[in-house]
Structure 1
Amino acid sequence: MNILQYESKVWATADLLRGSGIKESDWPSYMMPFFALSMIESRLIRMYDDLKSEIGEDVFASIPKEGLNGIIKDKGQGYNIYIFEHGKTLADICKNDKSFEIDLDAYLDGFDGETKDLLGIDDDEGEKFLDIKGIITKLKAKKVLFSYTKLWAEIDLKSFNNSEITTLEEHIKRKWADISAETAGEQYTPDDVIALIAEIIASKIEESDTLLKIYDCTCGGGNMLFGVEDRINQKFKRLTQTYGQDWNDALYALAKIESRFREDSKIEHGNTLVDDKFYNEEFDVVVANPPYGVSWKGYKKDIENDKTERFRFLPSVSDGQLLFMQHLISKLNSVGVGVVVHNGSTLFSGDAGSAESNIRKWMLDSDIMEAVIQLPTDEFFNTGIYTYLWVLNKNKPLQLKDKVMLINASEKYRPLKRSKGSKRKEIGEAKRLEIVEILKEYKNTDYSKVFNKEFFYYNKQAIMLTNVDEYGNSFEAQLPLVVNKKTGLKERTSSIKLKPTKLSNGERELTEFVITTFDTVKYTSLADTFERDIKPFTASLNYKEQPLVITTATAMYWFDVDQETLTKEVNGQKEYLGCGKILVNSTYKKASKTSPERIEISVELTPDYQKDYELIPFHRNETANQAAVEAFMAKYITKPFTYLENIVGVEINFNKIFYKPTNLRNVADILAEIEAIESELKALEARLAL
Structure 2
Amino acid sequence: MTSAEKTSPNNSANDSTLANFIWKNADDLWGDFKHVEFGKIILPFTLLRRLECVLEPTRDAVRNTIRAMADKPIDLDMVLSQVTGFPFYNASEYSLATLGGTRTRANLEDYIAKFSSNARVIFEQFDFLNTIARMDRAGLLYRICQNFAAIDLHPSVVPDRVMSNVYEHLIRRFGAEVNEAAEDFMTPRDVVHLAIEILLDPDDHLFEENPGLIRTMYDPTCGTGGFLTDGMDHVDALRDRFKIAPTLVPYGQELEPETHAVALTSMLLRTLESDPGRDLSKNIKLGSTLSSDQHAAERFHYCVSNPPFGKPWAKDQDAVVKEHSEKGFDGRFGPKLPRISDGSMLFLQHLVAKFESRERGGGRGVIVLSGSPLFNGGAGSGESEIRRYLLEHDFVEAIIALPTEIFFRTGIGTYLWVLSNKKPEHRENKVQLIDATNHFIAMRKNEGNKRKQIGPDQIREIVEMYSAFEPTKESQIFDYTEFGYRRIKVLRPLRMALHINQEGLERLKDEKAWGKLTEAQQAAWENVISPLFGRTCAYGWAEDFCGSAPQMDAAIGKVAKAFIKAFINAFGERDPEGDIVLDKDGDPVPDDQLTDYENVPLNQDIHDYLAQEVLPHAPDAWIDESYADDDDGQVGLVGYEINFNRYFYEYQPPRDLHEIDADLKAIEAEIREILDEVTE
Which TM-score tier does this pair reach, normalised by the shorter chain? Answer: 0.7 to 0.9
Cα distance, 1:378 vs structure 2 = 0.9
**Aligned position for 2:22:** 10
**Aligned position for 2:609:** 628
Structure 1 residue 605 corresponds to structure 2 residue 568: yes
Residue pair 2:199, 2:418 contacting (<8 A) in 1 also: no
Residue pair 1:170, 1:223 contacting (<8 A) in 2 also: no
Q: Which one of 455, 474, 491 corresponds to residue 447 of structure 1?
A: 474
Supply the distance in 1 between the matched residues of 2:370 and 2:671 (Cα, whole angstroms).
49
- 1:240–1:510 Cα change, 3 Å: closer
Cα distance, 1:186 vs structure 2 = 4.2
Supply the distance in 2 between the matched residues of 1:197 and 1:511 (Cα, whole angstroms).
64
Residue pair 2:615, 2:621 contacting (<8 A) in 1 also: no
Residue pair 1:3, 1:165 contacting (<8 A) in 2 also: no
Supply the distance in 2 between the matched residues of 1:295 and 1:509 (Cα, whole angstroms).
42
Residues 452-509 of structure 1: per-residue CA shift (max 9 Å, x gap): 11111111112333343xxxxx45xx9xxxxxxxxxxxxxxxxx9x999993259999
**Aligned position for 1:81:** 91
Residues 108-166 of structure 1: per-residue CA shift (max 9 Å, x gap): 2222223222211xxxxxxxx111012123323433223333322222324x4397145
Residue pair 2:508, 2:567 contacting (<8 A) in 1 also: no
**Aligned position for 1:149:** 145
Greater share of helix: 2
Supply the distance in 2 between the matched residues of 1:277 and 1:12 (Cα, whole angstroms).
39
Structure 1 residue 187 corresponds to structure 2 residue 185: yes
State the TM-score, normalizing by the size of structure 1: 0.75
**Aligned position for 2:372:** 345
Supply the distance in 2 between the matched residues of 1:244 and 1:138 (Cα, whole angstroms).
33
Supply the distance in 1 between the matched residues of 2:352 and 2:381 (Cα, whole angstroms).
20
Supply the distance in 1 between the matched residues of 2:669 and 2:250 (Cα, whole angstroms).
71
Supply the distance in 2 between the matched residues of 1:510 and 1:634 (Cα, whole angstroms).
38
**Aligned position for 1:91:** 97
- Residue 30 of structure 1 aligns to which amino acid in structure 2? I
Q: Which one of 48, 52, 55 corresponds to residue 44 of structure 1?
A: 55
Q: Which one of 589, 592, 600 corresponds to residue 616 of structure 1?
A: 600
- 1:578–1:233 Cα change, 3 Å: farther
Residue pair 1:514, 1:601 contacting (<8 A) in 2 also: no
Residues 198-248 of structure 1: per-residue CA shift (max 9 Å, x gap): 211232212123201111011011112212221232135311110011111
- 1:628–1:162 Cα change, 3 Å: farther
Structure 1 residue 285 corresponds to structure 2 residue 302: yes
**Aligned position for 1:299:** 316
- Residue 50 of structure 2 aligns to which amino acid in structure 1? M
Cα distance, 1:73 vs structure 2 = 2.8
Structure 1 unmatched runs, 5+? 53-59, 121-128, 469-473, 479-495, 519-533, 535-549, 557-568, 582-594
**Aligned position for 2:233:** 230
- 1:289–1:47 Cα change, 3 Å: farther
Supply the distance in 2 between the matched residues of 1:579 and 1:657 (Cα, whole angstroms).
55
Structure 1 residue 130 corresponds to structure 2 residue 142: no
Which one is further off, 257-266 or 273-282?
257-266
**Aligned position for 1:320:** 343
Supply the distance in 2 between the matched residues of 1:147 and 1:636 (Cα, whole angstroms).
81
Cα distance, 1:397 vs structure 2 = 1.7
**Aligned position for 1:252:** 260
Supply the distance in 2 between the matched residues of 1:511 and 1:212 (Cα, whole angstroms).
71
- 1:638–1:142 Cα change, 3 Å: farther
Residue pair 1:200, 1:436 contacting (<8 A) in 2 also: yes
Cα distance, 1:554 vs structure 2 = 4.9
Q: Secondary structure at the match of 1:204?
A: helix
- 1:446–1:555 Cα change, 3 Å: same
Residues 396-416 of structure 1: per-residue CA shift (max 9 Å, x gap): 221211111111111110000
Cα distance, 1:575 vs structure 2 = 4.9
Cα distance, 1:632 vs structure 2 = 3.3
Supply the distance in 2 between the matched residues of 1:62 and 1:551 (Cα, whole angstroms).
104
Residue pair 1:503, 1:551 contacting (<8 A) in 2 also: no
Cα distance, 1:273 vs structure 2 = 1.2
Residues 254-306 of structure 1: per-residue CA shift (max 9 Å, x gap): 11122122234221111111222212211111110011112111221111112
Q: Which one of 289, 295, 302 corresponds to residue 272 of structure 1?
A: 289
- 1:576–1:425 Cα change, 3 Å: same
Cα distance, 1:63 vs structure 2 = 11
Supply the distance in 1 between the matched residues of 2:67 and 2:667 (Cα, whole angstroms).
90
- Residue 43 of structure 1 aligns to which amino acid in structure 2? V
Supply the distance in 1 between the matched residues of 2:483 and 2:390 (Cα, whole angstroms).
12
Supply the distance in 2 between the matched residues of 1:34 and 1:279 (Cα, whole angstroms).
34
- Residue 346 of structure 2 aligns to which amino acid in structure 1? L
Residue pair 1:39, 1:165 contacting (<8 A) in 2 also: no
- 1:642–1:136 Cα change, 3 Å: same
Residues 358-380 of structure 1: per-residue CA shift (max 9 Å, x gap): 00011000111011111111101
Structure 1 residue 239 corresponds to structure 2 residue 247: yes
Q: Secondary structure at the match of 2:221?
A: coil
- Residue 79 of structure 1 aligns to which amino acid in structure 2? Y
Residue pair 1:174, 1:185 contacting (<8 A) in 2 also: no
State the TM-score, normalizing by the size of structure 2: 0.76
Larger radius of gyration: 1
- 1:358–1:63 Cα change, 3 Å: same
Residues 29-76 of structure 1: per-residue CA shift (max 9 Å, x gap): 222221221122112224659x99xxxxxxx99994669985323455
- 1:261–1:504 Cα change, 3 Å: same
**Aligned position for 1:526:** none
Greater share of strand: 1
Residue pair 2:228, 2:250 contacting (<8 A) in 1 also: yes
Residue pair 1:372, 1:405 contacting (<8 A) in 2 also: yes
- 1:514–1:442 Cα change, 3 Å: closer
Residue pair 1:10, 1:155 contacting (<8 A) in 2 also: no
- 1:637–1:229 Cα change, 3 Å: farther
Supply the distance in 1 between the matched residues of 2:482 and 2:665 (Cα, whole angstroms).
49
Supply the distance in 2 between the matched residues of 1:510 and 1:108 (Cα, whole angstroms).
76
**Aligned position for 2:630:** none
- Residue 191 of structure 1 aligns to which amino acid in structure 2? R
